[in-house]
Amino acid sequence: MVVVSHARTRTRRHRSATPSRRRAPSCTLVVVDRRRITAEDVAATEALAGWTVDGELLRAELRLPSFAVAGRLVAAVAELADAHDHHPDLSLAYPGVVTVELTSHDVGHLTPRDLDLATEIAARAAAMGAEPAS
């Protein structure tokens, strides 16, 4: 099922000495793909080697070269999550293990949004020297 919604964006208006024209709010068309992603779909995605499906969670435990590098990965994932407007659960543990858990809470299962974000996280983690923790 594909759901289409409209997200309204606001523009800030600055008051000035001269009156300005009032602009209508702009709308952005957002298409949300709610198809269910399975463990087989994840296994078929080469970039997600080491990621597992646990119920309705897509999960990875990543070991990085140091605790500081792991912290930088968490910050990078936060930036990616904001850009995608899709936020995983993250855990940072000594000596440099980051756990990432993704699901689409709004539909209660894994969707292509989870797969897309996980693929970007995996690429960023690999560039920082991450390996599967187990």
Note whether residue 62 is domain-resident: yes
Phi, psi of 127 (to 5 degrees): -65, -25
- In a domain? residue 28: no
- On average, the pLDDT of the chain sits at 85
Q: Is residue 122 part of a domain?
A: yes
Confidence (pLDDT) at 14: 45
Q: Does residue 16 lie within any of the structural domains? A: no
Q: What confidence score (pLDDT) does residue 92 get?
A: 98
| Domain membership of residue 87 as a residue range | 35-132
Q: What pLDDT score was predicted for residue 27?
A: 66
| pLDDT tens figures, 3-16 | 334 344 344 444 44
pLDDT in tens, 23-82: 666 666 556 688 999 999 999 999 999 999 999 999 999 999 999 999 999 999 999 999
CB-neighbour burial class of residue 133 (10 A; exposed 0-12, middle 13-18, buried 19+): middle
| Cβ-contact 77, 117 below 8 angstroms | no
- Does a structural domain hold residue 73? yes
Residue that the structure tokens 């399975």 belong to: 38
Note the pLDDT tens digit of each residue in 95-104: 999 999 999 9
Residue 57 within any structural domain of the chain = yes
Give pTM, 2 decimals. 0.76
Q: Which helix (H) or strand (E) holds 116?
A: helix 112-127
Q: What does the pLDDT read at residue 20?
A: 53
The helix/strand/coil state of 100 is: strand
Tell me the average pLDDT across 113-119: 97
Which tops the pLDDT comparison, 22 or 34? Answer: 34
- Residue 134 has what pLDDT? 77
* Beta strand 52-54 pairing with 97-102: unpaired
Residue 9 is assigned to a structural domain of this protein: no
Q: What pLDDT is attached to residue 17?
A: 53
In a domain, 21, yes or no: no
What's the domain count of the chain? Answer: 1
Give the pLDDT confidence score for residue 62 in this predicted structure.
Answer: 98
CATH of the domain at 98: 3.30.1360.20
